[in-house]
Every structure is written in structure tokens, then in C-alpha cells.
Amino acid sequence: MRDYDAIFIGAGQAGPFLAARMAAMGRKVALIERKFLGGTCVNAGCMPTKALVACAKTAEVTRRAAEYGVKLGEPPTVDMAVVAARARKVTLDARNGLASWFDSLETMDVIHGQARFVAAKTVTVDGEQYTAPQIFINVGARPHIPDVPGLVDVPYLTSTSIIALEELPKHLIVLGGSYIGLEFAQMYRRFGAEVTVIERGQHLASREDTDISEAIADILTRDGITVLRGQTLATVGRDGADIVVETDRERVHGSHVLVAVGRQPNTDDLGIELAGIETDHHGYITVDDRLQTNVDGIWALGDCNGRGAFTHTSYNDFEIVAANLLDGGDRKLSDRILGYGLYIDPPLGRVGMTERQAKEAGHRVKVSTRPMSRVGRAVEKGETQGLLKLVADAETDQVLGAAFLGVGGDEAVHGVLEAMNLNSTTEKLRWAVPIHPTVAELVPTLIGDLRET
């Protein structure tokens, strides 16, 4: 048995940074990873997918070039092998950078293999046992495959496997109308594929307010994507070379099918029951406000704890634990104000509560919206789809949330996020003097138009 000061299971966006911090302090740490360094973000998430989004955006701008007075000789075509290679290079560069960094840390061992608990403070990898008084689980999540008759019998794609696709689908059927599915739907439509999105609910990106969801649907349909809502999946099968998806209302023929109906934690093969670690009914590890599990000395970080599904929330998990364990701090999950983005084009930047969530939480709400067609920066760029939305408390004047769906929305929303972290009122925020011409300059205008609903 090999003894360490700390063991980290999984090399995503939380554990390795804490491991490196401890190693720099001279502690002996083991980082166990069964596949690739970097986790979802580096290998199957943010980095390769946003590289693909950039390729799709370039294709769209090229098609619209004449609107801006730029004349091109031939209609643009997309070389999918080059697109896939570009995304692959982004991943490999990041992965290799992590490997070089970890190799430079003298007291940190990187162990490749599948870790399994055999006791509360002991794990095995390929028959060898490792023990430590502190263990940090950072195993992430993977695409969830629903139990739909016939699905396992067709060559379906997931958000992981589609990244490496070097051929252009003739017709891509996307199962699921949430964030991951919508990003791939738009990018492949812009690459030149016919695309159909099949969503169970009545709204795309159903976490959002209805006006935001409808604006997202409008953006996608204007791109030529067929959006089918209120559909219950019945069967998936083959009809010659086609893949056929049947719902309770439709029958759709396609060349490829992408399964994007959610994700599930990678906790089912860790032997966590042998360590006495509790999970919820979805398999997410239960943690307290400081990310500790019910077992003393064991923490769960990142997607596997169900308390955030983003790279930035995973990294913030590292910051919380590092502050509390190493710096004498007292940071808590409940202090985190959640923000995230949807990277269709134009993107959605979201922070805090939606209008619906604020009302359900008992707030008296005031709301302001503004179409992007009335935002000077959007008009100048010729990208006027979407809207800006701000939500505040009518009694306390506190900023509760914002949804910026439009060009630059994923960046502009940070002004609201930072104001919320500073516990700012709208009265204070409205007297800022933002730069013109930007999207963010409309925040004081939105504040001035707030009305109770």
C-alpha cells in the first residue's frame, strides 16, 4: 500500500489545481485519471466545442459577406476534416500543457487507471492500493443515454463523439433541445447540414424564461433549423441507410442522430458504497456547503456533486476548498452567484435568477427588457437578434438576475454578475458611465426602464 497526504480521483477542472497547490507546498499527492487530463472542458466540452463554434461562425460570416460589401467569388464550403483537426489541436495543446505542468511538480504522482474505493480512505488502481487521510473526488459526468427502444442499435452520436466527426451529416437529428444540443444544432446547420431538433418540452432551453426561450427558438429557425417541441420519443430505427426517429407525433428521417438529453455523473463505477459515501437518486455525490461528503476527509468537486455543471463552477469548487483547507478561510457554496452561457450565435449570457425563479422565491419583481434591434452596437454589426433582460427586487432594489441574448451578451452580462457579487442596488449601478458603443452600455438604460410585474 502506498501512502499519500492526499489522493485526487479525476483530472478535471477542480482536483488537479488543488493537487498542484498542495504539491507546491511540499505535500505528497496522487492524481489518478483513467483517461485524459483536463476533464470534460479540455477533451469534450468547452475548448473543442467552442473551437467548432468559431468555425461555424466564420462560415456564416462568409455567407453573409455581401451584406457588408465584401464580394467573394464562390459560395463557401466547409472542410470538415480541417474543422475536426482544429478542434483536436486545441484539445491536445491544452492536455499536453497540463502534462508538462504536472511533471514539474516533484511531490505529485500522476497515476493512469481506474480508481475504485475499497474502504473510506483506500482506493485501488490496477490491483495496487493507495491510501490518504484526504480524498477528493472530481470524476465529472458523461452524456446520458435514454432508454428509447432501438436507440442502442443505431450508430448514435454524443457530445463527445461528434467532436471528432470528419464528415458532414446530410441530415442531423438532435434529440434534446437544451444547451448542448442547441449549440451542435446551429453549428452543423452552418456547416451545411440539414438539422432537426426534437424536444420533449414546450420550450427550448426550458430553464430560461419563456420570452428568452422563444427568442432562442426564433434564432435557430431563422438559421433554417427545424424545431419540433412537445415530442415524446417512441422508437429509433433504420430504414435503409437512414436513421428514423419516431415520436408520438412525428417520423423524422436523418443520416445521423445526436443524443443530447442531459448528463449523468461518473460515480457508478467508483465503489463509493464501500466507502460509505452518500449519493442522491441520480447518482450525484451529496456534499455540504463546503463540498464535504458525509464521510470525514472526503470531498466531491465539480460535476459529480450536482452543484454546478460548468467549468467555472468546478474551478470555483477548487477555490472554496483551497480557501477553507489551506488559507484559513470560510467560503461556502451558498455564496456563489451562478452565471453561465449558451454558445449559439448570438450567445446567451445568464446570471442569477430568471423572472420566473424570482417570483417563485417570493420576490416582488420588477423587470426591464430591450430588443437587440434597439442596441446601437448590434445595429452597427448587423446582428440584431435577441433581447436584453434585467430582473430586480421591487422592495430592496437588489439586482436579482439578467439574461443577455444577443451579440456580445456572454461578455456584457459580467457587469451585472459583478454588481450582484458586490451586492449592488440598481440605483447604484444606473449611474455608471459605460463605454459607447457597447452592449454593456445599455445596463443603465435597462435599469431606468424597470417596471414591477
- Judge whether 2-142+264-335 and 151-261 match in fold: yes
Q: How far, CA to CA in Å, does 431 sit from each of 222, 377, 380, 420, 443? A: 37, 20, 25, 15, 10
pLDDT at 25: 96
Q: C-alpha grid cell for residue 232? A: 415524446
pLDDT at 73: 80
What parts of the chain have a pLDDT lower than 70? none
Q: Looking at domain 346-452, which CATH architecture does it have?
A: 2-Layer Sandwich (3.30)
Strand order in the sheet with 251-254: 233-239, 242-247, 251-254
Q: What is the DSSP string of 319-362?
A: HHHHHHHHS-----GGGPPPEEEE-SSS-EEEEE--HHHHHHTT
Q: Is 253 a catalytic residue?
A: no
Tell me the pLDDT tens digit for each residue of 302-352: 999 999 989 999 999 999 999 999 999 999 999 999 999 999 999 999 999
pLDDT at 75: 82
pLDDT at 68: 95
- 8 Å CB contact between 236 and 148: yes
Catalytic residue among 144, 203, 363, 436: 436
The structure's pTM equals 0.96
Where do runs of H (alpha helix) occur along 111-209?
179-191
Q: At what angle do helices 179-191 and 210-222 cross, to 10 degrees?
A: 20
* Nearest CA-CA partner of 93 in 49, 53, 138, 47: 47
Euclidean distance between CA atoms 389 and 395, whole angstroms: 19
Q: How far, CA to CA in Å, does 427 sit from each of 75, 204, 228, 400, 424? A: 51, 33, 42, 13, 8
Instruction: For residue 90, give the amino acid letter.
Output: V
pLDDT at 12: 93
Euclidean distance between CA atoms 124 and 129, whole angstroms: 4
Q: Looking at domain 151-261, which CATH architecture does it have?
A: 3-Layer(bba) Sandwich (3.50)
Spell out the domain ranges in the chain: 2-142+264-335, 151-261, 346-452
Tell me the pLDDT tens digit for each residue of 96-120: 999 999 999 999 999 999 999 999 9
pLDDT at 399: 97
Q: Looking at domain 2-142+264-335, which CATH architecture does it have?
A: 3-Layer(bba) Sandwich (3.50)
